[in-house]
């Protein structure tokens, strides 16, 4: 019984360290997800503009913008950019949910601390 009481502060300390590490990881994840959303957004806009360029009547002598190989490549890369955008947004939403959960856990810890004191 006394060993359980002695381990109590160690368990609380380990729990607080775990929460700190989760908070740090969630912060990094949010930053990377936001960066991914920005980059994927630029890529998406860029490839959509390239696909729309032939519709304006613009063609060049060195590159045939209506070439099936070029259009196919642009569509594939656009699809990958959209997948990247989806993953970035999903990660960002997940990290924001983690942030909210951590805040509620911290509030619960404070409430427990007040009851103990």
Whole-structure pTM value:
0.54
**82-100 pLDDT, tens per residue?**
888 888 888 788 878 887 8
**37-60 pLDDT, tens per residue?**
888 888 889 888 888 888 888 776
At 1 the pLDDT is 47
Domain region containing 39: 2-116
Q: Are 63 and 12 in contact (CB under 8 A)?
A: no
Query: Distance between CA 73 and CA 75 in Å, rounded?
Result: 5
Q: Are 111 and 53 in contact (CB under 8 A)?
A: no
- Three-state DSSP class for 112? helix
pLDDT for residue 106 is more than 50? yes
Alpha helices in the chain (DSSP H): 2-52, 68-116
Domain count, the chain: 1
């Amino acid at each position: 019984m006394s060993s359980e009481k002695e381990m109590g502060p160690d368990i609380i300390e380990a729990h607080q360290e775990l929460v700190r590490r989760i908070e740090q990881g969630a912060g990094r994840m949010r930053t990377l997800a936001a960066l991914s959303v920005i980059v994927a957004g630029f890529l998406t806009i860029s490839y959509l503009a390239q696909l729309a360029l032939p519709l304006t009547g613009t063609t060049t002598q060195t590159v045939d913008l209506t070439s099936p190989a070029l259009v196919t490549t642009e569509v594939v890369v656009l699809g990958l950019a959209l997948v990247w955008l989806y993953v970035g947004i999903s990660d960002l939403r997940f990290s924001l949910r983690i942030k909210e959960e951590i805040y509620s856990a911290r509030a619960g810890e404070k409430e427990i601390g007040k009851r103990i004191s």
